[in-house]
Structure 1
Amino acid sequence: MYSKILVLRFSKEIVDKPIITHLVKDYDLTFNILKAQIFPRKEGMLVLELKGNRKDYEKGIRYLKAVGVEIEPVAQGIRRDEEKCYQCGACTAVCPTGALHIKRPEMEVLFESERCSACELCVKTCPARAMIVTFDKTLVL
């Protein structure tokens, strides 16, 4: 089973179309919605985990691009400001995917963005405000 967490952006021209339904019916993919900001007749943004066999996944991605959905990996929307981070490790306690974890014995906090589910728990927990979410700030309403 192939799985990736993606940020999908929908323009106002396609936001009202049943695009995700086609991924399930026509490409045999499953999904888990992690975050959504969708407004009728305006732009929308959806963070989801998309799963299926690799061939169907690739066909589904081609379909999304063909209908005008912008796709980016969630890793592009979450980042850590290394200058602000003072390696306290508070974020590691709330990270459900292990994207933030402590490297031992060095006690260094590592961030593996490809494992991130964009839950934003780290953003709320970080006392230094070192975790930054950028994908939802660009949504124009």
Structure 2
Amino acid sequence: MKKRVNLSLPKKSILLPITYRLAKDFNVAANIIRAQVAPNQVGKMVVELSGDIDRLEEAVEWMRSLDIEVSMNGREIVIDENICVDCGLCTGVCPTGALTLNPETYKLNFARSRCIVCEQCIPSCPVEAISTNL
């Protein structure tokens, strides 16, 4: 099973080997989608966890015991087609290729299944047509 979670790490947890512990202690793979972590600061990470469902729950509880805020990622990218001008700027920052321009029509295509909700496309949109549903 896979779960995408948002982690907010307090200053005291920044230097802990969290992904190593997830793998070693819980047999849970942690694919880091996005991370903003620096010493002596609150860290933010978007991580996709995969493993046995019971072990995933144990791993989440373990992280919470370290005062790591864990929230399930239910957000999705939303594109307002009435505002979008199909400029393609968002396609250049999309790490998964979820956003592409159709080479024949030059219309923006959004493959939701490829989107990891990294939100890099949001600030790249000059007309603010891209947002999240939450």
> Given the two structures, how large is their TM-score scaled by the length of structure 2?
0.67
Structure 1 stretches lacking a partner, 5+ long: 100-108, 134-141
**Counterpart residue identity of residue 67, structure 1:** L
The 3 A distance-change label for structure 1 pair 98 and 88 is same
Deviation of 1:74 (Å):
3.1
Are the aligned partners of 1:10 and 1:43 in contact in 2 as well (CA < 8 Å)?
yes
Contact 1:97–1:117 (8 Å) recurs in 2:
no
TM-align CA RMSD: 3.4
Q: Is the 8 A contact 2:34 2:46 kept in 1?
A: yes
Equivalence map 1:12-23=2 (5 Å)? 12-23=11-22
Q: Deviations over 1:108-134 (max 9, x none)?
A: x8896x97412335325545222237x
Bigger shift: 36-45 or 123-132?
123-132
Q: CA deviation at 1:58?
A: 1.0
Fraction of identical pairs, as percent:
24
Are the structure 2 counterparts of residues 123 and 33 from structure 1 closer, same or farther at C-alpha, using a change threshold of 3 Å? same
Code of the residue aligned with 2:44 in structure 1: it is M
- Tell me if 1:86 matches 2:83: yes
| Residue in 2 that maps onto 1:39 | 38
Aligned partners of 2:3, 2:86: CA distance in 1, in Å?
26
User: Is 1:85–1:128's contact at 8 Å kept on the other side of the alignment?
Assistant: no
Distance across 2 between alignment mates of 1:89 and 1:17: 43
Distance apart, 1:22 and its partner CA: 1.2
What is the aligned residue count? 121
The 5 Å alignment of 1:71-82 reads: 71-76=70-75, 79-80=77-78
Question: Which residue does 2:59 correspond to in 1?
Answer: 60
Distance 1:19 1:47 in 2: 13
Report the counterpart of residue 118 of structure 2 in structure 1: 119
Offset from partner CA, 1:5-35 (integer Å, 9 cap, x none):
2110101122122222211100001111111
CA distance in 2, matches of 1:85, 1:127: 14
**Residues 1:98 and 1:79: Cα distance change in structure 2 (over 3 Å):** closer
Contact between 2:84 and 2:129, CA under 8 Å: does it hold in 1? no
Contact persistence 1:74–1:117 (CA under 8 A):
no
Checking the alignment, whether the CA contact within 8 Å between 2:14 and 2:42 is kept in structure 1 is: yes
